[in-house]
Structure 1
Amino acid sequence: MKRLVVKVGSAVLSEQNRIAKDRMQALVDFIAELKTRYEVILVSSGAVAAGYTELKLDKKILANKQALASIGQPILMNKYRKMFEHHHLIPSQILVTAANFNTVEESQKVKDTIETLLAHNVIPIINENDATATEELVLGDNDQLSAYAAHHFGADLLVILSDIDAYYDKDPRAHSDAKVRLRIEEITHEELVMEVTPNHNFATGGIVTKLKAADFLLKRGGTMLLASGFDLSDARSFLLSDTHVGGSYFKASEF
């Protein structure tokens, strides 16, 4: 059975300073569908947004953002638990830091846990340990984390579900004639150093962080699909019907 890492961002999981329950439910239902065909590891953002529903702190202050992540993580996991329960699926939580990927030995420890969970049909839900990982909250994002997870944990494909539904040949917000790039084999240096432009109140990235995740995998023989997390039809077609209708698929030509 093939293995997927599915990453969902804060822009999909939250709206108007609260968890977007309908979109979260749609994601859970989709993962339950995927489980008939794949092993699934979920990388989920949303802890800070969930924490903000309980305590309105200024997210621009790092200590506040860490506190919100700490408050929000159990809230987020409880919502996942209740939603997956309807599909008779058990979710689990794995909090990681960059140190977990620094050495083969460290990443193997996490992988051993994930392998055990998958063997028992449990869905591992991974997130950066936001409450202490200052480098993630200031500079990083879960796009990069998901790429590390896909590479180190033996996934056949990384699927990023986002408010960005694909990679276009030009900015679709500024150009009405922008076209989706369905297949990307390489990413240039110029693309990787574009200005990061998050579109959402709780987001830490934008298209550039997704390109960096894709570039990391392309250079290691990995593959990635970028598709909408608001409308899951493109991801569903690609993953369950083997039909590439929309979204962008990253795969190097030599692999």
Structure 2
Amino acid sequence: MSRKDILGEVGRVVIKIGTTSLMQGRKSISIDFMDSVAEQVKALKDEGKEVLIVTSGAIGVGLKAMKVQANPNDIPIRQAAASVGQSILMQRWADSFQRQGMIVGQILMSLDTYSDRDSAINLNNTIDSLLDNGVIPIFNENDAVCITEIKFGDNDTLSAIVASRTDADLLIILSDVKGLYDSDPTKNPDAKLVPVVHNVDASVRSMAGESSTGLGTGGMRTKLDAAVICKDAGCSMIIASSKEPDAIYRAATGDDIGTIFVSDSEISKKRRWIKSAHASGRLVIDPGAEKAVLDHKSLLPVGIRSVEGTFDKGEVVDIICEGHRIAKGIAGYGSKEMSAIAGKHTAELEGILGRKDHKEAIISENLVVL
């Protein structure tokens, strides 16, 4: 099967551009590279495709501007560098796209941006409005204010979540390597590029090496994690080298470049959101409730052993049984009420809550088995 057949019709593309692609010799932004990206995006837009960009590099750019040693462990310095670097980075992107007659819009995100469903819907409405008006959305993690608990951790993960939440057909991750190899190419000169991956299993994970740069935070392992997120969301993913001529355009139009991770079949928008959302708490359940959940039935309060964390009704929680996360779902009650009714039978709920309410802790349509 050809790459074009595997990809199918690509309408919306997310492009993740890593620090090593942007920084020329680890010292400065490559304006030529950014201009090339803008040219390729323009060509894709002219063919009717929608394009979103996830950019890294703000911290690296800021460190250079501030003349601070690369990759310090001091979090405030990194956050200050992100603040300085993000404004410089966006100006460079704006300049490159302006030369192609396009404008860009900045979206800074943290992990909790997509954890609340209303916020997620509002963000997607903003993204759709930008695209409808010909604007290229450019995402980055809000490193200037994010703390460890609300960070994506790396922009490979961020790009995969953006792709999954915006119903993208394809995520292209530009990297310093040509794709996934069957062994570490820096150690084995006979390593071969793997052109197609259908499942990210143990054998595939064993192939992952490490990032070659001191400025980036994402290696091949984080890219494989991103591939899993995309696959579960029905989005294909391609890893390609930023050094390849016209890598973005070629990847998006079905050329045999890099490694493609083939997507699953279509998954509903709600299931995509639940599956990828940051869990605000945990419900620990008994084996009987586990069987019901695995059979795609609703979770009843009687099957809940304990409630962990603080969350509101409508937030996503993890479902845990015997130490294993088996599902995620949208909580039908907040953590306070959930704790009060945990382990209780349906007939007892009205007396505990003081009102008649639904009997389920999480209804079946709001549960996703992992």
| TM-score of the superposed pair, with normalisation by structure 2 | 0.64
Aligned mate of 2:194, from 178, 181, 194: 181
Moved more, 136-145 or 179-188: 136-145
- Does residue 7 in structure 1 map to residue 16 in structure 2? yes
Aligned to 2:95: 82
Identity of aligned residues (%): 33
Contact 1:186 1:252 in 2 (8 A): no
In structure 1, list runs of 5 or more residues that go unmatched: none
Aligned to 1:165: 178
Aligned to 1:46: 57
Contact 2:152 2:158 in 1 (8 A): no
SS at 1:133 equivalent: coil
Matches within 5 A, 1:162-241: 162-189=175-202, 192=205, 197-240=210-253
- Does residue 26 in structure 1 map to residue 36 in structure 2? yes
Contact 1:48 1:65 in 2 (8 A): yes
Q: Shift in Å at residue 52 of structure 1?
A: 2.0
Structure 1: how far apart are the matches of 2:77 and 2:206?
A: 29
SS at 2:218 equivalent: coil
Aligned to 2:154: 141
SS at 1:71 equivalent: helix
Aligned to 1:66: 79
Aligned mate of 2:139, from 126, 138, 146: 126
| TM-score of the superposed pair, with normalisation by structure 1 | 0.91
Aligned to 2:166: 153
Give the RMSD, CA atoms, in angstroms. 2.2
SS at 1:27 equivalent: helix
What is the number of residues matched between the two proteins?
253
Structure 1: how far apart are the matches of 2:264 and 2:75?
A: 41
Q: Shift in Å at residue 239 of structure 1?
A: 2.1
Aligned mate of 2:129, from 78, 95, 116: 116
Structure 2: how far apart are the matches of 1:72 and 1:227?
A: 25
Alignment CA distance shift 1:253-1:42 (3 Å): closer
The one-letter amino acid paired with 1:13 is L
Structure 2: how far apart are the matches of 1:66 and 1:128?
A: 11
Aligned mate of 2:258, from 231, 247, 252: 247
The one-letter amino acid paired with 1:80 is W
Higher radius of gyration, 1 or 2:
2
Q: Shift in Å at residue 193 of structure 1?
A: 8.2
In structure 2, list runs of 5 or more residues that go unmatched: 1-9, 267-370
- Does residue 17 in structure 1 map to residue 17 in structure 2? no
Structure 1: how far apart are the matches of 2:179 and 2:195?
A: 8
Contact 1:164 1:207 in 2 (8 A): no
